[in-house]
Amino acid sequence: MTTPFEELAGLDRLIHEPARLAILTALASCDTADYLFLQRLTGLTGGNLSSHLSKLEEGGLVQLDKRFIDKKPNTQVQITAEGKRAILQHWKQLDALHESSKNWKQED
Amino acid sequence: MKNINEIRFVATNYFNLQGLKNVAIGIFGILVALWGSALQYPISLQNWIFLGFVVIVPIAIYLAFDLYYKHTFGQVKRSPESKRLEWLVGIISGVLIIGGFWLDVTYKLTFSAIGLIFGLGLLADYIRITWLVKGRYLPYYPIGVVLIILLSLFPVFGLPEWWKMVGLRSEAIGLALFVGVFSIFAGIWGHIYLVRTLSPKAEEK
Is residue A107 one of the residues assigned to a domain? Answer: no
Domain hosting residue A36, numbered range: 4-102
User: pLDDT tens for residues B24-82?
Assistant: 999 999 998 888 887 777 878 888 888 898 899 999 999 999 999 999 999 999 888 87
A23 part of a folded domain: yes
The residue of B129, B203, B204 whose CB has the most chain A CBs within 10 angstroms, and thus the best one to mutate to test that interface, is B203
In a domain, A35, yes or no: yes
- Cβ of A37 and B73 within 8 Å? yes
- Which residue type does B189 have? W
Give the whole-angstrom CA distance, residue A76 versus residue A63: 8
What b-and-e string marks burial along B120-130, b requiring 16 or more CB atoms within 10 Å of the CB? bbbbbbbeebb
The amino acid that residue A34 corresponds to is D
B17 contacts chain A (CB < 8 A): no
Does the beta carbon of B8 lie under 8 angstroms from any beta carbon of chain A? yes
Count: domains in chain A: 1
Q: Is residue A42 part of a domain?
A: yes
The pair phi, psi for residue A105, each rounded to 5°, is -125, 135
Which residues on A lie below 8 Å from B10 (Cβ)? 26, 41
Give the model's pLDDT for residue B205: 46
The DSSP result for B62-131, as a single string, is HHHHHHHHHHHH--EEPPHHHHHHHHHHHHHHHHHHHHHHHHHHHS--SS-HHHHHHHHHHHHHHHHHHT
Q: How far apart are CA A94 and CA B199, in angstroms?
A: 28
For helices B4-13 and A35-42, what crossing angle results, to 10°?
A: 150
For the segment B22-39, what is each residue's pLDDT rounded down to a tens digit?
999 999 999 988 888 877
The one-digit pLDDT tens for each residue of chain A (108 residues) are: 566 666 666 677 888 888 999 999 999 989 999 999 999 999 899 999 999 999 999 999 999 999 888 788 889 999 999 999 999 999 888 888 887 777 776 655
Please give the C-alpha separations between residue A26 and each of A30, A100, B9, in angstroms, as whole numbers: 7, 26, 9
Give how far A3 is from chain B: nearest CA, Å: 25
Q: Give the N- to C-terminal CA distance of chain B in Å, as an integer.
A: 11
Distance CA B154, CA B131 (A): 31
**ipTM field:** 0.83
Cα–Cα distance measured from residue A27 to residue A77, given in angstroms and rounded to the nearest whole number: 8
Looking at residue B11, its amino acid is: A
d(CA A8, CA B14): 32
pLDDT for position B72: 93
Biggest CA-to-CA distance, chain A: 67
Pairwise CB contact (< 8 Å): A40 & B4? no
Q: Do B75 and A33 touch (CB under 8 A)?
A: yes
CATH of residue A83's domain is 1.10.10.10
The verdict on residue A51 lying in a domain is yes
Instruction: Specify if A108 maps to a domain.
Output: no
pLDDT (mean) for B87-107: 86
